Structure 1
Amino acid sequence: MGTDSRERMVRSAAHLFRERGYSGTGFRDVIAHSGAPRGSIYHHFPEGKAQLAEEAVRYAGEFLNAGILAATEGGDAASAVDAFTGWWRQVLIRSEFRAGCPVVAVTVESHEDAPQLAAAAARVFDRWQDTLATGLGNAGVADDRAARLARLIVASVEGATILCRAHRDVAPLDDIVKELKAMTREAVDSA
């Protein structure tokens, strides 16, 4: 049982959490979605569903963070916003508004018996904020303002994603993108 089946299960869990949530996704679902052998899930995740969820949150966080890093290398503050929002827009449209953020799904459904899930989600949110803040700083935004704007970007996009799903429309995301870009440009101009 190689790491390939393990990685497929982690990716599948992240995908399923986006659409079904943490509570609505079971091991059987992950096995069926990933095509992994049934016994392999217990082999790779002996601590159970919380261990799988923690890995899925980490995977989702790294996946999106890599996109943010690539887009912010140019030093344009608006690219930081585009990097974080463009992927969510595609996910919403392609899933017909069924999918959201797997990190949010695990966060809101974290249970007291699995505190590591909230901690894993917090690390992902912090990482996204740090990467965005670095990109904004490289574009000329003062460090303290870049950190606040990065937190605002993450919070706004996550909230807009929820609104988009509720309304089955990308207008909430498009609206915050316009405002966030204006704010980041203003922050560069005032630096």
Structure 2
Amino acid sequence: MGSDSRERMVRSAASLFRERGYSGTGFREVIAHSGAPRGSIYHHFPHGKAQLAEEAVRYAGDFLNAGILAATEGGDAASAVDAFVGWWRQVLIKSGFRAGCPVVAVTVESHDDAPQLAAAAAAAFDRWQDTLATGLGNAGVPDDRAGRLARLIVAAVEGATILCRAHRDVAPLDDVVAELKALAREAARES
């Protein structure tokens, strides 16, 4: 029971960070969203909101990484791009463009008093890049180029997600994806 409520709180925090950001999400909202018992949040996260946020970032990073990993196995270079983008597109549309990346939300609001948040975000971004680079490499992109291209994919998609939220339209993401897929295919052909 305890571990279930803990996991619900971590998932709820990640979901709320996507829409409200780190500063706009408090323990009260996490408890209400997760349905967890009121006192359990302090039991499971005795070091406070930063501890909850760190675990929510890890959860979000692992969740998306698992999807990327599954989608890049045995695919072509463009499928690595699709693997990273598909979920974001869905989140944007389903949320009415209110939700973005919880890792970005925590990153841009990280404070000097909680350096573990930036470290957790960097680890999530690195994991995504590594998984994408492996998928690109398996599709024939040379290793040095695969790493750089993976970083470009993460940066471009995160930026496009922000543009989509501002414009309330998926066109920026679709445009970025088309260009990234062309780059990925070209990189695979050059090897």
Whether TM-score is above 0.5 comes out as: yes
Deviations 1:70-99 (Å, cap 9, x if unpaired)? 000023111110010010000000000000
Deviations 1:14-45 (Å, cap 9, x if unpaired)? 00000000000000000000000000000000
Q: Could you say which residue in structure 2 is the equivalent of 1:93?
A: 93
Distance 2:79 2:147 in 1: 16
Q: Could you say which residue in structure 2 is the equivalent of 1:74?
A: 74
Q: Where do 5+ consecutive residues of structure 2 fail to align?
A: none
Deviations 1:113-161 (Å, cap 9, x if unpaired)? 0000000000000000000000000000000000000000000000000
Q: Could you say which residue in structure 1 is the equivalent of 2:128?
A: 128
Distance 2:16 2:75 in 1: 34
Q: Could you say which residue in structure 1 is the equivalent of 2:114?
A: 114
Q: Could you say which residue in structure 1 is the equivalent of 2:35?
A: 35
SS of the residue corresponding to residue 97 of structure 2 reads coil
SS of the residue corresponding to residue 107 of structure 1 reads helix
The alignment's TM-score, normalised by the length of structure 2, stands at: 0.99
1:153 aligns with 2:139: no
SS of the residue corresponding to residue 113 of structure 1 reads coil
Distance 2:67 2:74 in 1: 13
Query: Equivalent pairs: percent with the same residue?
Result: 88
Distance 1:76 1:106 in 2: 32
Q: Could you say which residue in structure 2 is the equivalent of 1:175?
A: 175
Counterpart amino acid of 2:179? Answer: E
Matches within 5 A, 1:136-147: 136-147=136-147
CA positional deviation for 1:2: 1.4
The alignment's TM-score, normalised by the length of structure 1, stands at: 0.99
Counterpart amino acid of 1:102? Answer: P
Taking only aligned residues, the RMSD between alpha carbons, in angstroms, comes to 0.5
Matches within 5 A, 1:11-50: 11-50=11-50
Distance 1:2 1:157 in 2: 36
* Equivalent pairs, count: 191
Distance 1:77 1:46 in 2: 44
